[in-house]
Amino acid sequence: MRTELLMLTLLIPLTAGAQTRTTGPWWPNAEWGAMDQAGASNRITAQKIVAALTLVKTGRTYEIGQVYERGMPMGGTRDFALRLVPAIEPTGSNRVLYNDEFVAAEIGQIGTQFDGLGHVGGEVRYADGSLHRVFYNGFTTEEMNAGTGLRQLGVEHVKPLITRGVLVDLPAYKNVQRLAGGYEVTLADVRGALARQGIAESSISAGDAVFFRYGWAQLWSTPAEYNAAALPGIGLEVARWLVERKVTVTGSDTSVTEVSPSPVQGAAIPVHQELMMKNGVFNIENMTFEELAADRAYEFLFIATTLRFKGATGSPLRPLAIR
Q: Using CB under 8 A, which residues numbered 9 to 48 contact a copy of itself?
A: 45-48
86: contact with a copy of itself by CB under 8 A: yes
Q: Which of 179, 116, 188 is nearest to 152 (CA)?
A: 116
Rounded Cα distance, 68 and 75, in Å: 14
Considering only 15, 99, 175, 177, the residue that binds a copy of itself (CB under 8 A) is: 99
Cα 22 to the center of its chain, rounded Å: 27
Considering only 20, 91, 203, 205, the residue that binds a copy of itself (CB under 8 A) is: 91
Rounded Cα distance, 86 and 98, in Å: 7
Site for a copy of itself in 161-220 (CB under 8 A): 162
In terms of CB distance, is 8 or 85 closer to a copy of itself? 85
Site string (102-141) toward a copy of itself, x via CB under 8 A: xxxxxxxx--------xxxxxxx--------x-x-----x
Site string (65-84) toward a copy of itself, x via CB under 8 A: xxxxxx------xxx-xxxx
Count Cα neighbours of 17 within 13 Å in the Cβ-side half-sphere.
2
Site size with a copy of itself, rule: CB under 8 A? 103
Q: At what angle do helices 236-244 and 187-197 cross, to 10 degrees?
A: 60
Question: How many other C-beta atoms are found inside a 10 Å radius of the C-beta of residue 24?
Answer: 21
322: contact with a copy of itself by CB under 8 A: yes
233: contact with a copy of itself by CB under 8 A: no
In terms of CB distance, is 15 or 265 closer to a copy of itself? 265
Site for a copy of itself in 262-291 (CB under 8 A): 262, 264-270, 272-273
Among 6-14, 152-160, 214-222, 281-289, the segment contacting a copy of itself (CB under 8 A): 152-160
CB 161 within 8 A of CB 41: yes
Torsion sign over Cα 176, 182, 185, 189: negative
Least separation in angstroms between CB 176 and a copy of itself: 29
Q: Which of 170, 315, 175, 176 is nearest to 254 (CA)?
A: 170
Site for a copy of itself in 247-266 (CB under 8 A): 262, 264-266
Considering only 17, 30, 101, 224, the residue that binds a copy of itself (CB under 8 A) is: 101
In terms of CB distance, is 196 or 310 closer to a copy of itself? 310
Rounded Cα distance, 126 and 10, in Å: 11
Least separation in angstroms between CB 303 and a copy of itself: 6
Q: H-helix or E-strand containing 192?
A: helix 187-197
221: contact with a copy of itself by CB under 8 A: no
Least separation in angstroms between CB 128 and a copy of itself: 14
Q: Which of 138, 182, 175, 170 is nearest to 25 (CA)?
A: 138
Cα 96 to the center of its chain, rounded Å: 41
